[in-house]
Structure 1
Amino acid sequence: MINFRYHVVSLTAVFLALAIGLVVGTAALNGPVADSLKENVNALRKDNQQMRQTVNSLQKELDREEDFAAESAQVFLPGKLTGRRVLVLDLPSGRDHTEGVVKMLQLAGANVSRVDVQDKFINPDSTTNNNLLELAVTAARPNSVSTANLPGNGHGVETSSALLASVLLDRPQGSPQITDADRRAVLQAYTTAGYLTPQDKISRPAEAVVLVSGQPYVDKDSAKKDESVVKIAEQFDRTGAIVVGGMGSVGGNVVAVVRGDPVLSQSISTVDDANTVQGQFVTALALLQQLTEKKAGQYGVGDNAAGGLLPKLPQ
């Protein structure tokens, strides 16, 4: 039988072992191990400081570049788009940088009208599609726009975009002209239904459009939403000059799709950094190129920006 003395001896041995371990461990930590840990901590602290300095330096460099672009725009843009009528359509994904694009166009002298496209317009569900078709074909369509001039494929976004392009942009010579009353009625119909939100009074058609977009959608309906945005660009491209001011050039966003399409890239200009001052400046330059040279180009910082950072405009 194990007696009380055995328990005392066992417990004493355990506590003695713990004491010896603490002494040995402390001695070891106070020696080479402790020195090594201190060196590693100091090295990590220095690396962190260097990285913080690098980030601050890059931020200052970016700020200087944006200041340079803003000052360059003040010198180059005034008067370049005087009297030009420009429609700015902006998507929810690009709304944060729409104001910057508008300011550059106005600095150039353009008469800008802005219309916000709501998420509801590019919603891929069947109800939205049917409602957009109904608006385009029957409820909102004026008699001056024949159904023969609208897509007949049952795609609500595409058909409505075609109707809106017909009433918001200049129509070809010889085509029935849209009255101001019809133009207001069409816009009001889409506004009342929650598809569009005009930010300016639109009394005249535009001669060009800037579509302000953002990065690709990432939800479960992302592919269909990106497709809808491309449909908008395609239909406005059929009627007038168009520049897409976007953010990024990979994935399924409209900038990436246009650049990857050998047909669309010949008529639609894209700028992949319109979320920056530089890109907003270039968006105005790209529109100037569209209107004066009838030429499209792909600009920005992406690998697929075939035109480089900005258009080469004639003096």
Structure 2
Amino acid sequence: MINFRYHVVSLTAVFLALAIGLVVGTAALNGPVADSLSDTVNALRKDNQQLRETVNSLREEVNREEDFVAEAAPILLADKLAGRRVLVICLPSGRDHVEGVVSALDLAGATVTGRVDVQDKFVNPDNSVELLELASSAARPTVPTTGLPGNSDGVETSSALLASALLDRAEQPAVAPADRVAVLDAYGDAGYVTVEQTVTGPAEAVVVVSGQPYVDRDAAKKDNAVVTMVVQFDRGSETVVAGTGSSDGNLVSAVRGDPALNQSISTVDNGNTTAGQTITALALAEQFTLGQAGHFGLGAGATSLMPKRPE
């Protein structure tokens, strides 16, 4: 009959065997296997150090190139936009680099007539009806609803009204300054736009500063609404989009992929860099001098890094 003492002896033997196995295994690992693992760890440590040094070198190289462009920009841009009146429209995704775009326009001699930041609320599909109503209530004697798109798209209608208030108009009477302010105040008070730089008069060109596309559940509708807005401003002015990248849904990508829009709207896909901001001003100058749109940068659909000098 198996008693308690038998179980104790059996368990003791099992644990003793395990202890002996651990001692023997550890002794074995302390030999060639341990040496091999140590060599592998040391090699990986050296590889990581080399990669870290490479990354730091590349980062320093990029910074140096940006410094070079910043120093060369005044020479490249001198008087390229002298006497031109430019409105800057900034989307929420372009806030981080809009100041650089404005600085490049200033270096080129442009008169920035104002900067208007469009809020996410403007392209939210839930607000289409409210935007239609706002377009009617915001209209003024010299900024009437006459000629606005006659459909149910609030973004399109409101964008057309804002464009009428902010851009040159070939045939209609000039916009009264008080009416222009009233229209902007109406949209500002409702939370659709923010005037970051006072609008001083009508513009003959627009630079739209954008970034990455929306990623929420209504992303496709919001991205399409952004394109709709830009189209309305392009109808009355020279237009350049200074964006970031050219991925699907991106404003830059949408313009480049549209056979009609890519003929009238210039795009820059690295507008978040000093180089791209400089190229944005040059792209606008090209539209004025050659009367054609161009697509510049590093992403898909770019035809060159920067505009070519006129022959």
Q: What TM-score results when the alignment is normalised by the length of structure 2?
A: 0.96
Given residue 215 of structure 2, which amino acid in structure 1 is its aligned partner?
A: V
1:111-145 CA-to-partner distances (Å, cap 9, x unmatched) read 111111111111110xx211211122x21112334
Instruction: Say if 2:66 and 2:273, in contact at 8 Å, map to a contact too.
Output: yes
Partner of 1:99: 99
5+ residue gaps, structure 2, are: none
177 and 25 in structure 1: CA distance in 2 versus 1, 3 angstrom threshold: same
Partner of 2:306: 310
1:34-57 CA-to-partner distances (Å, cap 9, x unmatched) read 112112211211111111111101
Instruction: Say if 2:143 and 2:180, in contact at 8 Å, map to a contact too.
Output: no
How many Å separate the matches in 1 of 2:178 and 2:4? 106
**How far did 1:177 drift?**
2.1
Partner of 1:121: 122
How many Å separate the matches in 2 of 1:310 and 1:292? 15
Aligned pairs for 1:235-274 (under 5 A) are: 235-274=232-271
- What secondary structure sits across from 1:239 in the alignment? coil
Partner of 1:89: 89
Given residue 9 of structure 2, which amino acid in structure 1 is its aligned partner?
A: V
Given residue 11 of structure 1, which amino acid in structure 2 is its aligned partner?
A: L
Aligned pairs for 1:166-205 (under 5 A) are: 166-172=164-170, 174-205=171-202
- What secondary structure sits across from 1:217 in the alignment? coil
- What secondary structure sits across from 1:114 in the alignment? strand
Instruction: Say if 2:93 and 2:210, in contact at 8 Å, map to a contact too.
Output: yes
**How far did 1:148 drift?**
4.3
How many Å separate the matches in 2 of 1:44 and 1:234? 54
Instruction: Say if 2:143 and 2:179, in contact at 8 Å, map to a contact too.
Output: no
How many Å separate the matches in 2 of 1:184 and 1:53? 54
**How far did 1:76 drift?**
1.7
Identity of aligned residues (%): 66
5+ residue gaps, structure 1, are: none
Given residue 162 of structure 1, which amino acid in structure 2 is its aligned partner?
A: A
Moved more, 10-19 or 249-258: 10-19
1:75-134 CA-to-partner distances (Å, cap 9, x unmatched) read 221322222111000011111100010111111111111111111111110xx2112111
Moved more, 199-208 or 215-224: 199-208
- Residue 141 (structure 2) pairs with residue 143 (structure 1): yes
How many Å separate the matches in 2 of 1:282 and 1:129? 35
Partner of 2:132: 133
1:194-240 CA-to-partner distances (Å, cap 9, x unmatched) read 11111222231011000001111100010011011101110011010
How many Å separate the matches in 2 of 1:153 and 1:4? 92
Q: What TM-score results when the alignment is normalised by the length of structure 1?
A: 0.95
How many Å separate the matches in 1 of 2:4 and 2:134? 95
1:10-44 CA-to-partner distances (Å, cap 9, x unmatched) read 13322320232022111111112111211221121
Q: How many residues align?
A: 310
Aligned with residue 215 of structure 2, among 211, 218, 221: 218
**How far did 1:294 drift?**
1.5
1:143-197 CA-to-partner distances (Å, cap 9, x unmatched) read 334534211121011111111111101111x323211121111111111111111
Given residue 283 of structure 2, which amino acid in structure 1 is its aligned partner?
A: A
How many Å separate the matches in 2 of 1:195 and 1:175? 26
**How far did 1:292 drift?**
2.1
- What secondary structure sits across from 1:262 in the alignment? coil
How many Å separate the matches in 1 of 2:85 and 2:62? 32
Partner of 1:2: 2
What RMSD in Å do the two structures reach over aligned CA positions?
Answer: 1.4
**How far did 1:303 drift?**
2.4
Given residue 261 of structure 2, which amino acid in structure 1 is its aligned partner?
A: L
How many Å separate the matches in 2 of 1:41 and 1:120? 53
How many Å separate the matches in 2 of 1:272 and 1:216? 13
How many Å separate the matches in 2 of 1:8 and 1:220? 65
Partner of 2:16: 16
